[in-house]
């Protein structure tokens, strides 16, 4: 992608808050036209108002990325307003955890619907028009950036459904990178794997509506524990969403596929792949923090909590 983004177009899902909003803000500062989408109408309206202050064109569309027809409609509206986008940031995501056998079918459908199928729908809807733009213009450059997580590279206990969704996004993104390389050098893919960053993902249920993803009447003890852990980790995070947005644009300028918000967290990834290569049983992720491991086991047994 060109180092000069002025006049280009960015499509950003989950743009009402968190990483999506900060990437939209960074894109606006770079002079890009914006198509922003979110399922939360009030947050999206506030984001649209804030982004218009940068003097760029902003179009906002309430979108449920889990529904393919809504993402296709978002792509059509983008094409009509701006033509093929130069950056598609498939970022909308939700958080959920708990012991894996306690995860309901509805939980699986909700998390995979947003975290995985939201990315699938974005890739299917926007890639063809970006490839067409590349065929028509040898100077066109485009990027598809998918938000995964460090949970897409390691398997943290009590976070099964989230881990599965994010591992799938990493696999999808790596395959997309290779598939694009077969047909073009003008459209590339990247994957963002943030660690704990202060966003609203730990309270994703606020946007969980009726139907398949209806809000559960109650949480199991393990799900409550997962939420407590995520709230605590996110609230104490030292890397801001704005800093991650800057890292995303740095990666685009460097044509870099893997984007990490916390490079030090890669030690866990290295250990995991050492176990894979040696065919060892997965090591305890809390081996270096036995007090935390004991606390978690006690909390799941109902003997204590994380407070």
Q: pLDDT value at position 237? A: 62
Q: Taking phi first (over 0 means left), then psi (-120 to 50 degrees means alpha), and beta for anything else, what does residue 184 get?
A: beta
List the chain domain ranges: 9-265
Report the pLDDT value the prediction gives residue 53, as an integer from 0 to 100: 96
pLDDT per residue as tens digits for the range 106-156: 999 999 999 999 999 999 999 999 999 999 999 999 999 999 999 999 998
Q: What is the DSSP string of 95-112?
A: ---B-GGG--HHHHHHHI
pLDDT at 206: 52
CATH of 9-265, one of 3.40.640.10, 3.40.630.30, 1.10.287.110, 3.40.50.720: 3.40.50.720
Indicate which residues carry an active-site annotation. 162
pLDDT at 218: 75
Burial 25-58 (b: 16+ CB within 10 A, else e): bbbbebebbbbbbbbbeebbeebbeebeebebeb
| C-alpha to C-alpha distance for 190 and 196, rounded to whole angstroms | 19
Identify the segments of the chain with pLDDT beneath 70: 1-2, 197-217, 232-237, 302-307
* pLDDT given for residue 211 in this prediction: 44
């Amino acid at each position: 992608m060109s180092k000069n983004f002025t006049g280009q177009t960015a499509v950003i899902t989950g743009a009402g808050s968190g990483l999506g909003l900060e990437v939209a803000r960074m894109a606006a500062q770079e002079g890009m036209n914006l198509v922003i989408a979110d399922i939360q109408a009030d947050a999206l309206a506030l984001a649209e108002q804030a982004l218009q202050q940068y003097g760029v064109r902003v179009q906002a569309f309430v979108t449920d990325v889990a529904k393919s027809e809504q993402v296709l409609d978002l792509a059509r509206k983008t094409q009509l307003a701006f033509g093929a986008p130069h950056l598609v940031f498939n970022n909308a995501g939700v958080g959920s955890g708990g012991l894996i056998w306690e995860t309901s079918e509805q939980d699986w459908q909700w998390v995979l619907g947003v975290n995985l199928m939201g990315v699938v729908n974005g890739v299917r809807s926007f890639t063809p028009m970006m490839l067409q733009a590349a065929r028509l213009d040898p100077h066109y450059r485009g990027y598809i950036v998918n938000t995964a997580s460090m949970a897409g590279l390691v398997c943290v206990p009590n976070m099964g459904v989230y881990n599965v969704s994010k591992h799938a996004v990493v696999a999808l993104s790596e395959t997309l990178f290779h598939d694009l390389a077969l047909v073009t050098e003008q459209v590339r893919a990247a994957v963002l794997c943030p660690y704990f960053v202060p966003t609203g993902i730990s309270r994703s249920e606020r946007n969980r509506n009726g139907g398949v993803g209806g809000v559960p009447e109650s949480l199991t003890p393990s799900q409550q524990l997962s939420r407590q852990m995520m709230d605590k980790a996110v609230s104490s995070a030292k890397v801001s969403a704005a800093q991650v947005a800057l890292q995303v644009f740095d990666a685009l300028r460097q044509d870099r596929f893997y984007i990490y918000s916390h490079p030090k967290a890669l030690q866990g990834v290295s250990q995991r792949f050492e176990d894979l290569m040696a065919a060892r049983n997965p090591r305890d992720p809390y081996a270096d923090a036995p007090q935390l491991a004991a606390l978690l086991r006690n909390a799941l047994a109902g003997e204590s909590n994380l407070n």
